[in-house]
Chain A
């Protein structure tokens, strides 16, 4: 599994009379990670859905890898099927893609051990904790072996500690699997921790008002290192400039 390059030029999208995106541009190298930060309703979800191929757009160019790259989207409410067990949810994408049984067993096994779901195969999503559900959704996205992984507010429903632990786990997986990753979030810390590129979205229609690079380490220690805190401060200021001082606070409550 390798990451796909992403190239977006002049992306435009409106809902009715509201122009959400007008001329959004960005590039990602294979295996890079990008975080989108911005207040609710600024179009983060729309960009991800367009990249996933789940939403039509009016103008612009979107290229992911060489043509039909495999893309997985983890949506904000996860979209797990409550009537399927952990195992059923994990195998469904592979059954639909008619992956052969040996390969299927191997991929599911890998996802179960990568995400620590081994003891939970017979549980239903309703019997899992919030963090376990999140890991299952991530596992279901990863068994398809995507070249581009899209995460929309993946950890927003979790308590702070679980959220941080899952962020660290995700960073490890991203590094090991070498996939390209785009994550939309309200949390400045999460954006800085997970993104090599952090794009602050703002304006009406939405564009990237500030872009930062963070090539620092993505390990548990990173949170307490000075360059991480300094970058977090800069991103927070850019966000405040784009959305007003309360933007991020309001955003993270939602």
Chain B
């Protein structure tokens, strides 16, 4: 596996080099040039400010999205009336690209951090909301029945909801949430790029657009590389979540 990964990586670099040599460094700089520029950036404080800002926006948006979507998904899965009301709205708006909300958010929330974070949260939240709701709605009936049968009637209803969430709903939706997180990791970073290309002078998105404007291609590609790594971080986070919180899934 490791050998194959290394071979694939080298093949990718080779292909990149070949295309770069063919089209010229006015269009695509070579991997060496981008690598040298990236190394240079790593020595600059400013780069870390851009990286840190993007990381903060993406992380805050990611967790805000998860934090809102998962409980709402449980509630929709469990409460028929709420679901009857929200599910049609959800499925009608689901195919709409969330990045279209960017102008709306900029008008509503101003030019600060809020619209960028909210945009990432909405993008991640939608995907997670749909799978969380579905995983509760489609939960095998025997799990509910088994839980109902075990529950001692004399204990209060509130304790029952909490126990049901902890022992059934949460673990049942985790694998699907981890998959949604993986899928959302790419889209979250791409909407962040869009959000950072307007009305800000911080973040990797700004760095890319700024370098693009100055035709500084190696710097632009350093920014692209850093944003790719940011997406990769969330992908790995989703994998880690699944491995540590769903040990039964690999059984």
Using a CB–CB cutoff of 8 Å, the interface residues on chain A facing chain B are 52, 54, 68, 71-73, 75, 77-84, 92-93, 96-98, 123-127, 144
- Say yes or no: A124 contacts B145, CB within 8 Å: no
Annotate B130-152 by CB proximity to A: 1 below 8 A, 0 otherwise: 00000000001011011011111
CA distance A177 to B32 in the complex (A): 76
Question: Given contacts A124-B251, A126-B248, is CB(A72)–CB(B149) below 8 Å?
Answer: yes
Q: Is the interface of A mostly helix, strand, loop or mixed?
A: loop
Shortest Cβ distance from A74 into chain B, in angstroms?
Answer: 9
Does B167 lie at the interface of the complex (its beta carbon under 8 Å from any beta carbon of A)?
yes
A-B CB contact pairs (8 Å), 24 listed: A54-B148, A68-B153, A72-B149, A75-B145, A77-B140, A79-B140, A81-B143, A81-B167, A81-B168, A82-B248, A82-B251, A83-B248, A92-B150, A96-B151, A96-B152, A96-B163, A97-B150, A97-B152, A98-B152, A124-B247, A124-B251, A126-B248, A126-B251, A127-B251
Chain B interface size, as a band, is 20 to 34
Whether B228 is near chain A, meaning CB under 8 Å from some CB there, is no
Could you say which residues of chain B place their CB within 8 Å of the CB of A79?
Answer: 140, 142-143, 145-146, 149
Main secondary structure of the interface of B (DSSP, over half): helix
Q: Within the assembled complex, what's the spacing in Å between the Cα atoms of A216 and B153?
A: 38
- Which residue of chain B has the shortest Cβ distance to A73 in the bound complex? B149
Name the residue on B nearest A89 (C-beta).
B146
B4 near A: Cβ within 8 Å?
A: no
Q: B163 — which chain A residues lie within 8 A by C-beta?
A: 96
Whole-angstrom distance between the Cβ of B145 and the nearest chain A Cβ: 6
Interchain residue pairs A-B with the least CB separation, the first 8: A79-B146, A79-B142, A83-B171, A126-B251, A124-B248, A93-B150, A124-B251, A97-B152
B172 at the interface (CB under 8 A from A): yes
The docked-state distance in angstroms from the alpha carbon of A71 to that of B171 is 26
Q: How far is the CA of A23 from the CA of B148 in the complex (A)?
A: 27
Interface digits, B211-251 against A, CB 8 Å rule (1 contact, 0 not)? 00000000000000000000000000000000000111001
